[in-house]
Amino acid sequence: MALAKKVKRAYPFVDLVRFVNSGTEATMSALRLARGYTHRPYIVKFRGNYHGHADGLLVEAGSGALTLGVPSSAGVPEEYARLTLVLEYNDPEGLREVLKRRGEEIAAIIFEPVVGNAGVLVPTEDFLKALHEAPEFGVLLIADEVMTGFRLAFGGATELLGLQPDLVTLGKILGGGLPAAAYAGRREVMEQVAPLGPVYQAGTLSGNPLAMAAGLATLEILEENSGYYAYLEDLGARLERGLKEVLSEKGLPHTVNRVGSMITVFFTEGPVVTFQDAKRTDTELFKRFFHGLLDRGIYWPPSNFEAAFLSVAHKEEDVERTLEALRKAL
Ligand SMILES: Cc1ncc(COP(=O)(O)O)c(C=O)c1O
């Protein structure tokens, strides 16, 4: 199928692709596959990373390097949440310790390679290194690129950061505005999915021609316009510089985290590296920032723990208008 070929071109480590309808289905199915492949029960996720609303992923955690997950939604049984171990993002030592102690029980680590769902968090080099030690313990690495795929580069964060995951999950841009998502990876793992293997997964609307056509058209445009990514980087850098200038002029504490077209202003002194750091942001100030912009015609994402996104529809003058609105609001 043509769209699968595009995915393979974007992610050269991918041999086989399975289409589904949403990011939630992609991560849920990738985790079932990891458990089926490894015959292990536990998964690891990171605090502040969001992977959709499958039961085992709606899990919060308390403090400590390793916490047994407790549900963060009604309707998720504790017995099930306990199979999700929640660690701190950007804590390589915490991850190494858990791999050493529990590695043989863990099927997979799922992670946002650049976090958008806690506001933007950028992975440190040592954290990425620790993630890539997972295969030594037979643990699969799942890069959840539902948000970053085709956004940070044509090959997403995997290309940008040189990642080597076993599986990747994709959604959002993949369907060009229609419901399409996918999980994909090495043949040996993907061949475990039915009908080739024993891990069941199917869906009436999976790979439906309408969504595939929209996705294909979108990826063709992205592939033909490779300059888009440099454009978004320039525009993002301009926005980042401007935000820092305006907030410094007003003497407000701030940290701007950005990768390409994903950007967050945290209202706290930096650095903001972990989810704990992100939670130090002054959410009252964020509310005033948000409404001040909205009153002047700029719709920033309504939570401080959500990335703002630039698109190629945005022009330099949109960035200038945003900065001008912020200056007035402040
Ligand atoms: C990184 C990530 N994974 C998974 C999902 C879930 O995708 P969906 O909303 O399509 O179910 C999201 C949604 O925002 C996401 O950002």
Question: What does the pLDDT look like over 151-165, one tens digit per residue?
Answer: 999 999 999 999 999
Does 276 score more than 50 pLDDT? yes
Q: Looking at the chain, list the stretches that DSSP marks H as alpha helix, in order from N- to C-terminal side.
A: 2-10, 23-38, 78-81, 92-102, 125-131, 156-161, 187-190, 209-224, 227-249, 275-278, 283-294, 316-329
Give strand ranges (E) for 74-131. 84-87, 106-111
Does 318 score more than 50 pLDDT? yes
Give the residue among 164, 98, 92, 166 at the shortest CA–CA distance from 130.
92
Domain ranges of the chain: 2-224, 227-329
Predicted pLDDT of residue 224: 95
Q: Flag the least confident range among 69-73, 125-129, 316-320.
A: 69-73
Predicted pLDDT of residue 63: 41
**CA angle, corner 5, sides to 260 and 156, nearest 5?**
15
Predicted pLDDT of residue 65: 40
Report whether 175 contacts 167 (CB < 8 A).
Answer: no
Question: Is it true that domain 2-224 has CATH number 3.50.50.60?
Answer: no
Report whether 197 contacts 34 (CB < 8 A).
Answer: no
Give the up-direction half-sphere exposure of residue 166: CA atoms within 13 A in the CB hemisphere: 25
Which is catalytic among the residues 42, 50, 183, 229?
A: 50
Nearest-CA residue for ligand 1 atom 8 is: 23
* Ligand 1 center–CA 329 separation, angstroms: 32
Ligand 1 nearest-atom number relative to CA 181: 10
* Ligand 1 center–CA 285 separation, angstroms: 27
Residues with a CB atom less than 6 Å from ligand 1: 22-24, 27, 50-52, 112, 116-117, 144, 146-147, 171
Nearest-CA residue for ligand 1 atom 16 is: 147
CATH architecture of 227-329: Alpha-Beta Complex (3.90)
Predicted pLDDT of residue 196: 97
52's tokens: 């959709």
Q: Is there a catalytic annotation at residue 11?
A: no
Question: Is 183 strand, coil or helix?
Answer: strand
pLDDT tens-digit series, residues 182-234:
999 999 999 999 999 999 999 999 999 999 999 999 999 999 998 999 999 99
Q: Is 51 left (phi over 0), alpha (psi -120 to 50) or beta?
A: alpha
* Residue of higher predicted confidence among 79 and 34: 34
Does 296 score more than 80 pLDDT? yes
Q: Is there a catalytic annotation at residue 144?
A: yes
Q: Is 149 left (phi over 0), alpha (psi -120 to 50) or beta?
A: beta
pLDDT tens-digit series, residues 54-113:
988 888 644 444 455 677 788 888 888 899 999 999 999 999 999 999 999 999 999 999
Predicted pLDDT of residue 58: 87
Per-residue pLDDT, averaged over 122-149, amounts to 98
Q: What is the mean pLDDT of the chain?
A: 95
* Ligand 1 center–CA 294 separation, angstroms: 25
